[in-house]
Structure 1
Amino acid sequence: MGKVRVRPDTGRLLLDFSYQGARFREHTALHDSAQNRKKVQTLLDKVEARIKLGEFNYSEFFPGSKNIQKFLEVDPNRANTSQTQLVRVQNSYIPARSSTRAPLFEIFARQWQTEKKIEWRASHARNIESVLSNSLIKFFGKRVLSDITKAEILEFRSKLASKPGRGGKEQIAAKTINTHMALLKGILEEASDRYSFENPYKNIKPLKLQRSHVEPFSLIEVNRIIESVREDYRNYYAVRFYSGMRTGEIDGLRWEFVDFKRGLIAIRETLVQGQTEYTKTDGSQRDIPMLGPVKAALEAQYQATGKLSPYVFCNTEGKPLDHNNITKRVWYPLLRHLGLKMRRPYQTRHTAATLLLASGENPEWVARFLGHASTEMLFKVYSRYIPNLTRQDGSAFEQMLGVQDERHAAQ
């Protein structure tokens, strides 16, 4: 009687049965699981039923198998009549080990990219293209997919980690490395499934990421910056500091999404490499109130650019601002002039978050204001800025003891 077994080196299921005294073993592309065992057992039962009826045709069940010749030697009366490439079992298909050789990494990676591109935003598609062309294909491009080993994958990661990072950093960021590795993993997973080879990307964990370093400005520093910046950028930085918008959101903001009557800004688009597209996530789609000086800044800005461009903040040609240019020409020179620590413009968003939390605003409301799906990231990044009312650090207890000590002293 035949059995369903597991190949120790791959963890994949195989059929082990006998026909006219000869032993046959057929490997599948299915990993060991209860559901897959049930599928393979169903197939084995059907094979043995056909054997008992004297109707078993090997090529009908296992097309392309190396065992077909062995079967014909055992029973030469059986002709190889089936050209089917899949075995149907109770309305599901069990893929046999493909005899088709896997293609080169570059060929399949480009095919995979073409198939997946419809799922991606334009900016994400550009990032994928950059990682493929400048990293993965350069290293793995001429390798046959099924020949790639785990050792090669780890070698690739080590070489990637040895490259210098952005902004003069000695090493490329762990987040960037994880992005490259995740793309490689996705390609290999799909290829191994299609061509039925053992996926070498196993037990390789993502690198641990350092916590985001938040360096918000104080309210005094914010006021100094807004008062000292060039007049033509004063409204821009006032809105940045008090709206908490991401760089792409404020640079891509158009007048049609500014509602002065209701005092709301509708975040619907983001600017990426000069092109407006859908926001970072669905959660980023939001309506935010014009807090503090934001409404006055936008009203003043409308007088300057309202009839010049569809974009709220634009250059003299009416085109959206180039944030890299502004950062180098306006932002960093201003910080140096004021004697403030050099910080990226994104800290304006962190500043808005910390000022809102420190003032006692509800964290859930702040999360929605910033475009976060939940408060999880808010507490993770800004926990030390959340007042004692919403966090536990012992200060409330000490304050209570202080009050009691004052009462005892008064008595």
Structure 2
Amino acid sequence: MGSIRCRDGFLFFDFRVHSIRCREQTRLSDTASNRKRLVKILQQIEKEIDAGVFSYAQYFPGSRNIEKIAAIETARQQHQALPAEAGPHRAATRAQSGMTPLFECFSQDWFLENEVRWKRSYRKTVRGNLDKHLIAEFGKKEVGSIDKGEILRFRSTLAKVRNGSKEGLSPDRINHIMTTLRMILEDAADRFDFTTPFARIKPLKVIRSDVDPFSIEEVTRFLKFVRPDFRDYYTVRFFTGMRTGEIDGLKWEYVDFDRRLIRIRETLVDGQADVTKTPASIREICMSEPVFQALQRQFQVSASCGSYVFCNREGQPLDHRNITKRIWYPSLRMMGIKPRKPYQTRHTAATLWLAAGENPEWIARQMGHTTTRMLFTVYSRFVPNLTRRDGSAFENLLAARLPGVIKDPAEIAVSPVSDVVGGADHV
């Protein structure tokens, strides 16, 4: 649907013909009466477009868009006249005739149309992908002329782009860039009736990041050693499994001391409060005793400074990059503890809960996961080392419940092989 917009104090039409965005300037100033007048004209234009009787030259004589729209209409007629068996050649015919817009124009419109449904952080990512990589590579090409070979060659060049001191972008970063390209081309293919060249292009394999939680002994050492003014901050991190943005964006209004609950409703992204990472991230975390006491102490420190639980002297949320650089890594180095990213505090909470025998479904809710799948695929391998259990608990259960049928596990461990398998006669 088109709209009436303003540029430099004067109104202009902004509408689409054959999925091509057209903007036509007027000499009318931005007043209520002029807007009402142009809205009626725009409504008539859109009725004629829908009916297939719209004449661009009749409404906008002398416009540069007249020839462009005429060429598109001619190309459409030629395209529709092709026999059914000419399907594989339709994309080429469409590209040669100028039937699809340039990638730069289409991608800019696509971004404006979709940004309203994205989180601010994702809008920033997509905008960066367009400006840094995609428009530079495909900007002057028509969206209907981009083929699979060009896409694969572009992906190969990304693996060679210098990223600081590293040669080439990571597979995960490349996949994010290619996802933006895929969405644009799929949208264009749907609008302009061609087959997306992205079909059957699989993402690069990404090596799963290593989960390296702290042991309970390391957590204890760290909390005793770290600067006192950050001890409560890291206590909450280690024993709640909160993400960095969640704890840095935590406000006192979401801390319920009476019910001993932390309500996760917001997260901090680039220093600004934003919605949570996923709908499942909206949750309530139960306070353990160390967390309860840490938040009570913190209340005496920061409640009068502002709305954030952990904040600087001005009451503003902490800068996690600054804290990580000044507090986190120096503390680990001085204690001789293996350096890890602060995000490992989240993994630590999960493994400690599992080791303590908590219900996996409860743990998943505390973490903000929709299912227990991640617990068993990512974290469960740490549990045997923490609990010193390796299957012997099950053997002991069977031995106790089935006496005379199942031997004592210790007895089986020291018995000769012949006793277990039935002796030489059995062999």
Q: TM-score, with normalisation over the residues of structure 1?
A: 0.72
Q: Report SS of the residue matched to 2:229.
A: helix
Q: 2:258 aligned to 238, 258, 261, which one?
A: 261
C-alpha displacement of 1:172: 2.6
C-alpha displacement of 1:193: 1.8
Q: Which residue matches 2:217?
A: 220
Q: Which residue matches 1:94?
A: none
Amino acid at match of 2:77: S
Q: Which residue matches 2:103?
A: 105
Q: Which residue matches 2:131?
A: 133
Cα 1:199–1:407 change in 2 (3 A) is: closer
C-alpha displacement of 1:67: 9.0
1:191 pairs with 2:192: no
Structure 2, gaps ≥5 residues long: 1-73, 83-93, 400-405, 415-427
Q: Which residue matches 2:408?
A: 404
Amino acid at match of 2:244: T
Q: Which residue matches 2:78?
A: 66
Q: Report SS of the residue matched to 1:66.
A: helix
Q: Distance in 2 between matches of 1:316 and 1:68?
A: 68
C-alpha displacement of 1:170: 5.0
Q: Distance in 2 between matches of 1:69 and 1:135?
A: 37
Q: 2:233 aligned to 220, 226, 236, which one?
A: 236
Q: Distance in 1 between matches of 2:380 and 2:277?
A: 23
Amino acid at match of 1:314: C
Q: Distance in 2 between matches of 1:303 and 1:343?
A: 31
Conserved 8 A contact 1:244-1:352:
yes
Q: Report SS of the residue matched to 2:289.
A: coil
Q: 1:142 aligned to 114, 117, 140, which one?
A: 140
C-alpha displacement of 1:341: 1.3
Q: Which residue matches 1:154?
A: 152
C-alpha displacement of 1:134: 1.1
C-alpha displacement of 1:349: 0.4
Give the total of aligned pairs.
Answer: 319
Q: Which residue matches 2:122?
A: 124
Q: Distance in 1 between matches of 2:324 and 2:390?
A: 38
Conserved 8 A contact 1:216-1:350:
yes
Cα offsets for 1:351-377 (capped at 9, x unmatched) = 001100111111111111000111112
1:200 pairs with 2:191: no
Conserved 8 A contact 2:354-2:380:
no
Structure with greater helix percent? 2
Amino acid at match of 1:173: S
Conserved 8 A contact 2:182-2:198:
yes
5 Å-filtered alignment, 1:236-385, equals 236-385=233-382
Q: Distance in 2 between matches of 1:352 and 1:170?
A: 35
Q: Which residue matches 2:51?
A: none
Q: Distance in 1 between matches of 2:378 and 2:384?
A: 14
Q: Distance in 2 between matches of 1:236 and 1:395?
A: 39
Amino acid at match of 2:233: Y
C-alpha displacement of 1:226: 0.9
Q: Percent identity?
A: 52
Q: Which residue matches 1:10?
A: none
Conserved 8 A contact 1:249-1:269:
yes
C-alpha displacement of 1:203: 1.4
Q: Which residue matches 1:85?
A: none
Conserved 8 A contact 1:285-1:371:
yes
Q: TM-score, with normalisation over the residues of structure 2?
A: 0.69
Amino acid at match of 2:363: V
Q: Distance in 1 between matches of 2:76 and 2:326?
A: 66
RMSD: 2.8
Structure 1, gaps ≥5 residues long: 1-61, 71-96
Amino acid at match of 1:103: P
Q: Which residue matches 1:6?
A: none
- Which segment is superposed worse, 366-375 or 139-148? 139-148
